[in-house]
Structure 1
Amino acid sequence: MMAKCDNCSQVTKIKFKEVRHQQGIKETYFNCEHCKTRYICFLTDERVREMQQKLRSFGGRHNGRMKLQQEINERMNLLKYNLINFGRADL
């Protein structure tokens, strides 16, 4: 998988890395091979991982599937916002 870096405009290979934060939060990210800019892909906490497991168990079409996916996305966006702006995702 490849991506174009917003910082240096070079194409870089995406090599996902994971780091664990306090309160069971996991961050998945990659760095640009050229300028080392860090790109946070997503953050999950126990609540998000439980919702993701529930989503996988729905299979096929399910009425609550889209709503649950929206809740997951909102929670992950909040974790990412908190990490970027406050240095901690678990606020």
Structure 2
Amino acid sequence: MTKPLTALCNHCEKITDVDFKMKHHPNRIEETYFKCEHCYYHYTSFVTDGRVRKLQRKKDSIKGLRNAAKRLELQEEINERMSLLKYNLINFGRADL
């Protein structure tokens, strides 16, 4: 049995269990988030779109040590795209700007 994932809430400063939930937004945007069980503060963890999910599938299909550099390059592209989507969703209410 695995231990539940916990986090320290920056809002109320209490320890909370992390229970990831998924929310679907327009244009096939998916937000993975959790809420503090004490103050219900909303923490966005990941935001993906069709392009990110396609890159993730491509990265997962690449096997072998010789292709490690290509996998790393794809992961960096995924991280950049996800950061942009998350920033736009949090600050502007839409990820697909």
Taking structure 1 as the reference length, the TM-score comes to: 0.96
Structure 1 residue runs of 4+, over 2 Å off?
none
TM-superposed deviation, 1:83: 0.6
Q: 2:47 aligns with which of 43, 46, 52?
A: 43
* 1:81 match: secondary structure: helix
RMSD: 0.8
Distance 1:20 1:60, change over 3 A: same
Counterpart of 1:78? 84
User: Rg larger in 1 or in 2?
Assistant: 2
Unaligned runs of 5+ in 1: none
Taking structure 2 as the reference length, the TM-score comes to: 0.90
State the identity %: 55
Unaligned runs of 5+ in 2: none
